[in-house]
Amino acid sequence: EDPAPKEDPAPKEDPAPKEDPKPEPDELDSVPLPTNVKPKTSEAFEAIKSAARAKIGTLTKETEELRTRLTELEARTKDGGIPPELKKELEELRTFRNRLDVEADPKFKDFDERVKSTTTSIYDKLKQGGASDEVIKKIQDLGGIEAVEWDGLLSKLPTTIRRSIEQKLVDVETLKEDRAKAVEEAKKHASQYIAARSEQTSKQREAARAEAIKHGEELANSTEWMKEKTIPAKATPAEKKAIEAHNKLVADSRLAIKEAASDDSPQMRAALGLGVAELMRVRSEFAAHKEASTAQVDKLTKELKAATDLLERVKKGSTHRLRDTPATADENRPKHSFQESPGDAIDRLAKEAEQGQSA
């Protein structure tokens, strides 16, 4: 028998597509839209939220990476993350710098000044012994007193001068040795030495500031206008206001003096210099204004005196002897208005005086 044909297997049904898992709710989902918005507006809003979620995800990832790197760097630093060779070089540089600071310390310049003074004294003694300026210059050109063979030169000098120079040469050598020992000892403990000098300098600076503040207060107390005033019990409002303004100016000025004395920075020094220049400008302008005001006062005083003299002459010119004739009736007397201006009054009096003189 023919074999029965194989039946085609039943076609497999395609599995239903898996739906993308819904993202977990986040803060953006808590931002609602109004219920009556258009569909396109809702779609655009959802697109914006999706873009924001993507950006937030990127920034969060970068933040985590940076946090991880920071943690690694902190761990390396705690464990001595600096390479040994770099650390060694750093220590050598610090030591070298400390030694340079030691050599540059003004404390050791005292040795140099004493050596210089003693050397000058040796040259003076040589001149007293008859050495010329050319000989002194030749010694200096050779490199100073250390480069000279003194036995032959000293043998030609008087005994007293020779012994004095010999002693001074010993003093110079001793000073140089003492300086070298002091510097070398300081270099052995350079860090401690620099720290001690820094502390000493800080204390000196604080002492100088305190002294400056003290002198500032003394100057303020000796300045008459920088003294506060007491408001009298019967002071008017205007007087009270003026005294309060004066006392405020005094308080602000004293505070400014204290701040300036406490601050020795370059900025404060520049500000003080500018303040002095501003004071000079104000004084110059005040002097010019005072001179102009004085001239104006002198001019007005002269004009007032001239007007007063004219008025006196007018008054004297208007007086005359009483006539024998009876007094004129009131209706015949000239009547004057109280509204008459001073100029019109002077003109009228002058006219009456002229009429009286002609009569």
d(CA 116, CA 122): 10
Token readout for 357 is: 């003189």
CA-CA distances (angstroms) from residue 198 to 117, 179, 191, 192, 217?
A: 29, 21, 10, 10, 29
351: nearest Cα among 305, 328, 317, 323: 317
d(CA 136, CA 119): 11
Please list the ranges in the chain whose pLDDT falls under 50.
1-6, 321-324, 329
What's the pLDDT score for residue 238? 92
DSSP code for 143: T
Which residues have a Cβ under 8 Å from the Cβ of 43 and sit 6 or more positions away?
Answer: none
Token readout for 224 is: 């008459």
118: nearest Cα among 183, 180, 164, 177: 164
What's the pLDDT score for residue 242? 92
Q: Which long-range contacts (CB under 8 A, 24 or more apart) does 317-320 make?
A: 317/350, 317/353, 317/354, 317/356, 317/357, 318/349, 318/352, 318/353, 318/356, 320/356, 320/357
What's the pLDDT score for residue 244? 92
Burial of 111 (0-12, 13-18, 19+ CB in 10 A): middle
**Side-chain half-sphere exposure of 271, counting CA atoms within 13 A:** 11
Token readout for 313 is: 């002459």
DSSP code for 108: G
Which residues have a Cβ under 8 Å from the Cβ of 318 and sit 6 or more positions away?
Answer: 349, 352, 353, 356
DSSP code for 39: H
The model scores a pTM over 0.85: no
Q: Roughly how many angstroms between the first and final C-alpha of the chain, as a whole number?
A: 186
What's the pLDDT score for residue 105? 66
The residue with tokens 């004129």 is 328
CB atoms within 10 A of CB 226: 16
d(CA 140, CA 126): 13
Burial of 30 (0-12, 13-18, 19+ CB in 10 A): exposed
d(CA 221, CA 213): 12
What's the pLDDT score for residue 17? 54
Burial of 357 (0-12, 13-18, 19+ CB in 10 A): exposed
d(CA 316, CA 312): 6
Whats the size of the chain, residue-wise? 359
Locate all alpha helices (DSSP H) within the chain, ordered by sequence. 39-78, 84-103, 109-128, 133-142, 150-154, 159-188, 190-222, 237-262, 266-318, 342-358
d(CA 115, CA 176): 8
What's the pLDDT score for residue 180? 79
What's the pLDDT score for residue 5? 47
d(CA 142, CA 139): 5
d(CA 168, CA 129): 15
